[in-house]
Amino acid sequence: MAANEPLPGTADIWEPETLDWIELENNARDVFHRYSYSELRTPIFERTDVFARNLGNETDVVQKEMYSFNDRGGRSLTLRPEGTAGVIRAIAFRGLEQGDEARVFYFGPMFRGERPAAGRRRQFHQIGVEAVGNDSPWMDAECIAMLTQYLDQLGISGSRVMLNTRGLPADRPKISAALVEYFTPHAPAMCEDCQRRLSTNVWRMLDCKNPACHDIALKAPNIVDLLGDESRGFFTRVCQGLKDLGVSYELAPRLVRGLDYYIHTVFEVTHPGLGAQDALAGGGRYRIELPGGKKAVEGIGFAAGMERLLMARASLGVQAQPNAEADVMVLSLGDNALLPGLQLAQQLRLDCGGLRIKADFSGRSLKAQLRGANKAGAKVALIRGDDELAQGSVLCRDMTSSEQESVALTNLAAWLRGKLPTA
C-alpha cells in the first residue's frame, strides 16, 4: 500500500466525480422538499447504545461491523453504521409531542467494518429519509412512491420495488416458531451464521446470501400467511396505496431486512446494473425505543447508498457533465503584472457572477500559460504585460478561434458578459 493511498474501504473523491455526488444531493433536496421533508445533520459518532439498543445485539451490524471506541471519559462511542437510530435520537432530544410528526432527510458517511466490495466501502455514504410519529399505512405507500420519484429524477430506470411485511411484534412468536420448525432439520446443511441464527435470530435465515441457504429458504413458510388480522390489513392497505399511486412492486416473501427495529412494511429497490448484490435502496416501518427506554416512536424511512446510486446511473450511461476548470484565465506576463492580475481576477469574480475565474501566477511564458488555459477549458484568456498595464487595457483572446482584441479595463466586465452570457 502506497504511503499516501487512502485506507482500504475508503476513497478520495475528485472532480468530475464530485459533480455526480452533487447531483444526487441536489435532486434529493428537490424531491424531498416537495414532500415537506426538511434536512437534518446528525453527528458522525454516537453513544454505542444508540445503535446496539435499536439495531439488535444479534444483528451482523452490531456483532461484527461497528467501529466502536472508548473516549477519554470511558464512554463507548461508535461511528454511525446507519442513519435511522441517530435521527431518532436527535428527534427525541428536540422533543416530539403526542400527535406530532417529524419528516427529515439526511446525507452523509456511514461506517461498517465489512469486506470492501463494488459499491460498498467501509466508509460509505447514504441518502435517507425518516417520517416519524405517523403510523398510517398510507404514509408507507407515499414514502416508497417518493423514493421511486427520486430514482426517476436521477435517470435510474429499470429498478424493481421488492415488498414484504414483518407484521407486528405480537405476530412474531408464531412466525418464529414456524421458521424454527422448518429450518431445524435443514440447519446442518446451512452456513455457520445460519446455524447460529437458528437460536438467536431465525428471521435472518430467510435472506442469507449463501447459495445453499438461499435455496433452502425458498421453501420456508410465507410470513404473510402467518400474520394476524391487524397486520394483514395494514399490509393490504400499503399495497393498495402503491397501486393507486402507480408504483409497481413485487411481493418478496423472504425479504425481512437485517435490523430488529422493523415492523410491518419492509422493502428494497434493486437494479440490474449493480450485479449480483443488486440492492440499491431499502427501508421499512420501524418502532424504536427512545433513550431511557420509557417509550417508543414509530416511523417509516429508507436509505440509499450513494455509491450504489452512482453505479446504477453509470450502468445506464447517466453522468453529470463535467464543468470546465475555468471559464476565464487571467494571464500575467512579467513580475509587474502579477499583483494587478490578482486584483483583476478578484474584481471580475465580483462583477461577473457565475463565471469561473482563474489567475495564473506561474510567471511562465505566454505560450506555456496559454497551454494551461486550454487544459483548464477556458473560453477566454485575459493577457496583460507591461504595455497593457501602461495603456489601462487587456488583450482578450478567444481560446476557440484564437482571435484577439484589446479591451479597455473599464469596459472589460461588460465585454465578458456579452462574450459569455452565462455571467
Tell me: the pLDDT tens digits for 180-238? 999 999 989 999 989 898 888 898 888 888 899 999 999 999 999 999 999 999 999 99
Question: What's the farthest any 2 CA atoms get from each other in the chain?
Answer: 93
Q: Do 352 and 273 lie in a common domain?
A: no
Look up residue 169 and give its three cell numbers: 411484534
pLDDT tens readout for residues 140-172 = 999 999 999 999 999 999 999 999 999 999 999
371-397 confidence digits (pLDDT tens): 999 999 999 999 999 999 999 999 999
- Cell numbers found for residue 262: 422493523
C-alpha cell at 183: 429450518
How far apart, in Å, are the Cα atoms of 63 and each of 80, 277, 283? 14, 22, 21
Confidence band, pLDDT 50/70/90 cuts, at residue 62: low
Q: Does pLDDT of 136 surpass 60?
A: yes
The answer for 365, left when phi > 0, alpha when psi is -120 to 50, beta otherwise, is beta
Same domain flag for 259 and 408:
no
Split at pLDDT 50, 70, 90, the class of 353 is confident
- Is residue 403's pLDDT more than 90? yes
Judgement on whether residues 310 and 333 belong to the same structural domain of the protein:
no
Which of 12, 28, 9 is closest to 303 using CA atoms? 28
Please check whether residues 303 and 414 belong to one and the same domain.
no
Q: How far apart are CA 204 and CA 194, in angstroms?
A: 8
Residues 275 and 358 both lie in one domain: no
Euclidean distance between CA atoms 326 and 125, whole angstroms? 29
Same domain, 141 and 243: yes
User: Residue 114 sits in a domain of what CATH number?
Assistant: 3.30.930.10
The residue ranking higher by pLDDT, 341 or 64, is 341
Domain limit, last residue, from 257, 286, 315: 315
The Cα 169–Cα 166 span in angstroms is: 8
Percent of the chain whose predicted confidence (pLDDT) is above 70: 94
Q: Which pLDDT band, with edges at 50, 70 and 90, does 119 fall under? A: low
Pair 92, 154 in one domain: yes
pLDDT score of 3:
83
Show the DSSP H helices in 302-337 as ranges. Answer: 306-315
301 belongs to a structural domain: yes
Please say which residue of 253, 288, 315 terminates a domain: 315
| One domain, residues 340 and 415 | yes
Percent of the chain topping pLDDT 90: 71
pLDDT of 144: 98
Residue 34 has pLDDT above 90, yes or no: yes
All three cell numbers of 102, joined, read 417529524
Question: Is residue 338 domain-shared with residue 278, that is, in the same domain?
Answer: no
Task: Give the domain-ending residue among 274, 291, 315.
Answer: 315
Query: Same domain, yes or no, for 32 and 140?
Result: yes
Q: In angstroms, rounded to a whole number, what is the distance separating the alpha carbons of residues 409 and 391?
A: 9
* Structural contact between residues 291 and 92, judged by C-beta atoms closer than 8 angstroms: yes
C-alpha of 77 from chain center: 23
> What's the chain's average pLDDT?
91
Helix locations, 245-277, DSSP H:
none
Does residue 7 fall inside a structural domain? no
- Amino acid (one-letter) located at 312: A
Taking the C-alpha atoms of residue 359 and residue 145, their distance in angstroms, rounded to an integer, is 48
Domains identified in the chain, total number: 2
The predicted structure's pLDDT at residue 114: 77
Domain of residue 71 covers: 17-168+228-315
Does 37 reside within a domain?
Answer: yes
DSSP conformation letters of 174-188: HHHHHHHHHHGGGGG
- 322, 176, 307, 159: which is closest to 247 by C-alpha? 159
CATH number at residue 388: 3.40.50.800
Distance CA 120, CA 116 (A): 6
What's the average model confidence in pLDDT over 286-308?
83
Average of per-residue pLDDT across 85-109: 87
Average pLDDT over residues 403-407: 96
Amino acid at 55: L
CA quadruple 271, 232, 172, 91: dihedral positive or negative? positive
Global pTM? 0.86
- What's the pLDDT score for residue 154? 97
Claim to verify: residue 119 and residue 237 sit in the same structural domain: yes
